[in-house]
Structure 1
Amino acid sequence: MHSVDGWIFDLDGTLVDSLPAIAMGLNHALASEGHPVYEEVTVRSFIGDGIEMLIARALPDHPEGRAAVFERFRDWYINGWRLGTVVYPGIDYVLQTLQTRGAVLAVLSNKPHRFTVEIVESLFPGVFDVVLGQRDGVPHKPDPAGLREILEHESWIAKTSGMIGDSTVDLETALHAGITSIAVTWGYHDRARLEAMKPDAIVQRAEDLLEL
C-alpha cells in the first residue's frame, strides 16, 4: 500500500456517530405519516446510501408514502441532527495530527450537501479543505464522480490518496476511482462485509490511521 497524503473521509459512521439522530429523525417522520417505527439497531442497517435510500429501506412496501416521509425527515433534521451526532473517540486527535503533518483533508458523504457542510463546519471548524455531500446532478457513492471532483480540485495524485470509510459503499468508491481504500470497523458495516471487499487496510481504532 502506498503512503497516503490526501485523505478523503466518509462522514456518518467514520468521523461521527450520527445513528441516534438519524434514527430519531426517521422515526419522527414515519410516525408523523402513520407508519411503524424501527429500533435503532435496524435503522443502522439502512444507513450508507443517502436519505432517499434510507427511507426506501424503511418503507419497502409503500413507495407512494416515501416523498412525504422524506420531507418530514428533512425538516426535522435541520436542527435535530444536533440531538444525536457525536465525534468518534480519537478522531479529533487524528485530524489534528494529520494537519500537523501537512496532509490535505476532505469529506465525501452521501448525506445531502447542506447537512454535510453544516455538520462538518460545526464539529470540525477549519479542518477540511473540501467538503462534499450529495448534490443534485452528481451521482452519489459508490459512483466515483464526487471523489474524482475532489482529486481534481486539489490536484491530488490518485496513488497517494485514500478513501476512509465504514461501509462497502466507500470501499467500492475508492476501487472505482483507483485510490487506496481504508476500512474502519467502528461504524455501521460489520467487519466481515468490509473484509469481503479486500480493502488495502482495515483499522480498528482511529489512532491506527496514523500508522498508515
Structure 2
Amino acid sequence: MDGSSLAGMKSCVIFDLDGTLVDSLSGIAGSLNRSLAAHGLPQHSEAAVRSFVGNGLENLVRRAAPAGADSALIGSLIRAFKEDYELTWAEGTTAYPGIHGLLGELVKSGHPLAVLSNKTHPFTVAMVRAVFPQIHFAMVLGQRDGIPHKPHPAGALQIAGTMGAAPENCVVIGDSTMDLETAANAGMEAIAVSWGYHDRERLLAAGAAKLIDDPSELPALLA
C-alpha cells in the first residue's frame, strides 16, 4: 500500500455486531421464545423477532412481551433470556457470508477495527472471540451499566478516544437506522449494510448516504 492510500484511510472502523457481522437471529429468537413460553406467554416468528431487535435487551423483551407488561414480568423475562442465551447462543449464530474474508482483508491492509454492540458486554466479547478468533479487533464494546447504548454516541466516542482517532476519521458500519443515528450523533461517517435486520428501503428512508449489498463492496469505500 502506498503512502497516499494510508493518508486517506479511516483511522477507526467501528462495526455493529448482530445483523452486520453475524447472523444471530435464530439464536435470539430461540432464547426469546423459550423465555416467553416458560412464562406462559405467546411466542413470535423469526420475522417478528427481527423487527424487535435493536436498542438492547430490555427493549427486545418489551417489544416481545404483551402490551402493558409490568416491570416485574419484564425483569423476569430478561433474566430468563440471559440464562438461556448464555447456554445456547452459539447454536444460532454464524458470520454472514463473506465477512471472514472482508475482515481479514481489512486487517491485512492496516485498518484498525472495533465492534460496538447493544448486546450486553460479556456476550459481545464472547461472540466476537468465538466467531472471529483469528481477527484482531482493537476494541470490542457491548452494553454496560451506566453507559448509554446506541444511538447515544458515548460508546463510539470512547472507541475513537481510546484508539486516538478523531471522530471525523472514523466510520460506523451497521445494518440499522440506529447505527446511522449513532454515527451522526458521534460526528462520524456511516456506511449501511442491507443484509441485516433493516432492509435497504428503510435504511435509505433514514438517510443512508452509503449503502452496500455485499461485504466485498466495503474495502473500496474505506480506501
TM-score normalized with structure 2 length = 0.92
Match of 2:211 in 1: 202
**What is the 5 A alignment of 1:168-207?**
168-207=177-216
- Answer yes or no: is 1:25 the counterpart of 2:31: yes
Match of 1:162 among 133, 158, 171: 171
Match of 2:112 in 1: 104
Once the 2 structures are TM-superposed, how far is the Cα of residue 7 of structure 1 from its aligned partner? Answer: 0.7
- Answer yes or no: is 1:61 the counterpart of 2:68: yes
Match of 1:88 among 85, 96, 103: 96
- Answer yes or no: is 1:147 the counterpart of 2:156: yes
Aligned identity (percent) is 47
Once the 2 structures are TM-superposed, how far is the Cα of residue 159 of structure 1 from its aligned partner? Answer: 2.0
Match of 2:13 in 1: 7
Q: Is this contact kept in 1: 2:9–2:111, CA < 8 A?
A: no
Q: Is this contact kept in 1: 2:124–2:142, CA < 8 A?
A: yes
1:118-177 Cα offsets, whole Å, 9 max, x none, are 000111124211000000000000000000000000001222210000000000000001
Unaligned runs of 5+ in 2: 1-7
- Answer yes or no: is 1:130 the counterpart of 2:139: yes
Match of 1:49 in 2: 55
Once the 2 structures are TM-superposed, how far is the Cα of residue 87 of structure 1 from its aligned partner? Answer: 0.2
- Give me the whole-angstrom Cα distance separating, in 2, the residues matched to 1:137 and 1:185: 31
Match of 1:79 in 2: 87
Partner amino acid, structure 2, of 1:114: P
Q: Is this contact kept in 2: 1:27–1:37, CA < 8 A?
A: yes
- Give me the whole-angstrom Cα distance separating, in 1, the residues matched to 2:10 and 2:54: 24
Query: Which has the larger displacement, 186-195 or 2-11?
Result: 2-11
TM-score normalized with structure 1 length = 0.96
Q: Is this contact kept in 1: 2:157–2:167, CA < 8 A?
A: no
Q: Secondary structure at the match of 2:173?
A: strand
- Give me the whole-angstrom Cα distance separating, in 2, the residues matched to 1:111 and 1:175: 21
Q: Is this contact kept in 2: 1:95–1:127, CA < 8 A?
A: no
- Give me the whole-angstrom Cα distance separating, in 2, the residues matched to 1:168 and 1:5: 23
- Give me the whole-angstrom Cα distance separating, in 1, the residues matched to 2:27 and 2:181: 26
Once the 2 structures are TM-superposed, how far is the Cα of residue 62 of structure 1 from its aligned partner? Answer: 1.3
Q: Is this contact kept in 1: 2:22–2:93, CA < 8 A?
A: yes
Q: Secondary structure at the match of 1:187?
A: coil
Query: CA RMSD, aligned part only?
Result: 1.1
Larger Rg: 2
